[in-house]
């Protein structure tokens, strides 16, 4: 499971309804967008590290093969056969270990999409980095709010529950890509699937939250 590094302390101010003197902002961080859950246990922890790595590599290759992403003549499929033979020769229950790892992988995927339903409909103010999606000249009307620099481009995308799709009522002119900002708006627990454009193509990303943005401000401590 990938662990995101946070480059600054992120806070989320939650207000119900319109901003008024009676409304009190509750401060939470990006981790509060993730439901509380019991810690996951590594089913391969009893194995030596080199064996753990081989089981993980084998599981990933088999998964890719099942999805049709690689064929029987792909070099990675050949690598899987070699790993399988080596592990079996060492007395390991290969299929059993792969099944346990796959169970862990599926649980991680499920948790990565899980959201905090209590946040639905809240008026919030939160910081993050902007990843523009829709432009009008130099102004941005839609963007992804992400917790760290380089998300979705230079490193794997954050989990869905660590990305917020923002739709602005008024366009915003960022100074540069991945500009840190404070964003105010109403949060919805609503999935948003988007496609990011790159020089060499496009890639799909998924956000677990949608925000109707009212105001964007440059980030300040």
Classify burial at 54, counting beta carbons within 10 Å of its beta carbon; exposed 0-12, middle 13-18, buried 19 or more. Answer: buried
Question: 13: pLDDT confidence band, cut at 50, 70 and 90?
Answer: very low
| One domain for residues 206 and 138 | yes
| One domain for residues 84 and 22 | no
Q: What are phi and psi of 218, to 5 degrees?
A: -55, 140
Number of domains the chain is built from: 2
- Weakest mean pLDDT among 39-53, 118-132, 188-202: 188-202
Nearest CA-CA partner of 127 in 168, 188, 175, 179: 179
| One domain for residues 210 and 147 | yes
- Weakest mean pLDDT among 7-11, 115-119, 141-145, 199-203: 7-11
Q: Final residue of a domain: which of 63, 85, 113? A: 113
What is the per-residue pLDDT across 73-120, written as a single tens digit (0 to 9) for each?
A: 999 999 999 999 999 999 999 999 999 999 999 999 999 999 999 999
| One domain for residues 129 and 213 | yes
> So what's the pLDDT on residue 86?
98
> So what's the pLDDT on residue 176?
74
What is the per-residue pLDDT across 52-70, written as a single tens digit (0 to 9) for each?
A: 999 999 999 999 999 999 9
List the CATH number of the domain containing 187: 2.40.50.870
């Amino acid at each position: 499971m990938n662990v995101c590094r946070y480059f600054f302390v992120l806070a989320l101010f939650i207000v119900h309804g319109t901003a008024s003197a009676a409304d009190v902002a509750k401060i939470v961080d990006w981790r509060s967008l993730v439901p509380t859950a019991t810690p996951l246990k590594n089913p391969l922890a009893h194995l030596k590290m080199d064996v753990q790595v081989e089981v993980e590599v084998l599981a990933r290759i088999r998964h890719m093969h099942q999805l049709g992403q690689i064929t029987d003549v792909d070099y990675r499929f050949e690598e899987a056969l070699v790993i399988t033979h080596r592990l079996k020769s060492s007395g390991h229950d290969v299929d059993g270990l792969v099944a346990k790892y796959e169970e862990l992988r599926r649980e991680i995927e499920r948790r990565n999409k899980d959201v905090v339903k209590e946040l639905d409909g809240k008026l919030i103010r939160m910081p993050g980095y902007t990843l523009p999606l829709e432009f009008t000249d130099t102004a941005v009307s839609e963007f992804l709010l992400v917790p760290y620099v380089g998300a979705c481009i230079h490193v794997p995308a954050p989990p869905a529950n660590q990305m917020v799709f923002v739709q602005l009522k008024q366009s915003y002119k960022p100074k540069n890509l991945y500009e840190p900002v404070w964003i105010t708006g109403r949060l919805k627990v609503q999935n948003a699937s988007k496609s990011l454009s790159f020089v060499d193509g496009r890639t799909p990303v998924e956000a677990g939250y949608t925000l109707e943005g009212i105001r964007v401000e440059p980030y300040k401590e």
